[in-house]
Structure 1
Amino acid sequence: MAEENVRVELTIPVPAARVFAVLADPAAHCAIDGTGWVEAAIDPAPLTGAGQVFRIRMYHPNHPDGHYQMANRVEVFTQDRAIGWRPGQENQRGELEFGGWTWRYDLTPAGPSETRVTLTYDWSAVPQHIREYIAFPPFAPDHLANSLRHLGELAEPARQG
């Protein structure tokens, strides 16, 4: 793959504020995820700004421990317009180390009650030593499209309750 990012778009029939609220809720990330790797939010408090760290419990059959945690640092936070984070893990000293990939959602109003959502997974900053044991992207290309469909289902008012 020549590009070092994957980008997909979907128009969701709800206002941007509602879509953003779902994305800013770490507890919703398990339901948004299309791979089944995200298990639960360890830090379920809503995301409120850049610099905030939220932890997610994960599972991947190829991970050395199977179950593990990711610490995600919010890098982009523009209310109702854009949100993104950089996943990382704590090292043995308890410091966060980031692998170089990011998740970003850009929201563009497409009328009074629709939002065009662009999801970008970017691995351009992943260092070579990580690329030696993880192939990028580490999921099938349809994962992002599935994630946006899940996001749309969560954001629709009829699905809430």
Structure 2
Amino acid sequence: MDQENVSATLTIAAPAASVFAVLADPATHAAIDGTGWVQEAVDRAPLTGTGQIFRMAMYHADHPNGDYQVANKVQVLDPPRAISWLTGQEKEDGRLEFGGWFWRYDLAPLGPSETEVTLTYDWSAVPQSVREYLRFPPFEPDHLINSLHHLAGLVSGR
């Protein structure tokens, strides 16, 4: 694959601020994801600024430990237009190391009660050493649109 990012777009019947509030709440991320990999928020505080770290409990059958944690670093926080984070891990010495991929949501209001949401997964900064043992993207093609449908369900349920 020559492309180093994938994206999907969905119109959600809710104001951008409502959609953004769900995205800025790490406790909703497992329900948005839908793969079963994201288990729960370890750090449950709302996302309020760039540079903020939030950890998530994860599970993947192909991971050496099965259960593990990721440390995400907020890269973009522009309410209610955009939110993005880098995914990495905390090393034994407490240092954070990021793998070179990020998640980004761009929100475009289409009126007072509709928002076009684009979800992008980008792995363009992943070093070759990581690409030798991880496949990118690590999910099926329909994962992003499914996640957006999960997000729409969460927003409408609030």
TM-score by length of 2: 0.99
Which residue of structure 1 aligns with residue 97 of structure 2? 97
Write the letter of the residue equivalent to 2:89. Q
* Offset of residue 112 of structure 1: 1.3
CA deviation string 1:51-92 (max 9, x = no partner): 000000000000000000000000000010000000000112
Pairing of 1:60-75 with structure 2 (within 5 A): 60-75=60-75
Aligned to 2:18: 18
- SS of the equivalent of 1:63 reads coil
- Aligned counterparts of 1:39 and 1:71: Cα–Cα separation in 2: 13
Residues 88 and 99, structure 1, Cα contact 8 Å, conserved in 2: yes
Q: Aligned partners of 1:154 and 1:115: how far apart in 2?
A: 14
CA-atom RMSD, angstroms?
Answer: 0.6
Alpha-carbon separation, structure 2, partners of 1:72 and 1:111: 31
Question: What's the offset of the Cα at 1:34?
Answer: 2.3
- Aligned 1:7-86 pairs, distance under 5 A: 7-86=7-86
Q: Please list every run of 5 or more consecutive structure 2 residues that lacks an aligned counterpart in the other structure.
A: none
Q: How many residues align?
A: 158
CA contact under 8 A between 1:34 and 1:144: conserved in structure 2? no
Task: Give the corresponding residue for 2:142.
Answer: 142
The structure with more strand, counted as a fraction of residues = 2
Q: Deviations over 1:126-153 (max 9, x none)?
A: 0011000000000101110110000000
The answer for unaligned runs of 5 or more in structure 1 is none
What is the distance in 1 between the residues matched to 2:45 and 2:94? 21
- Hey, what's the Cα distance between the residues in 2 that align with 1:75 and 1:105? 11
Separation in 2, partners of 1:141, 1:41: 25
> Counterpart of 2:44 in structure 1: which amino acid?
P
Identity of aligned residues (%): 66
Structure 1 distance, partners of 2:90, 2:112, is 42
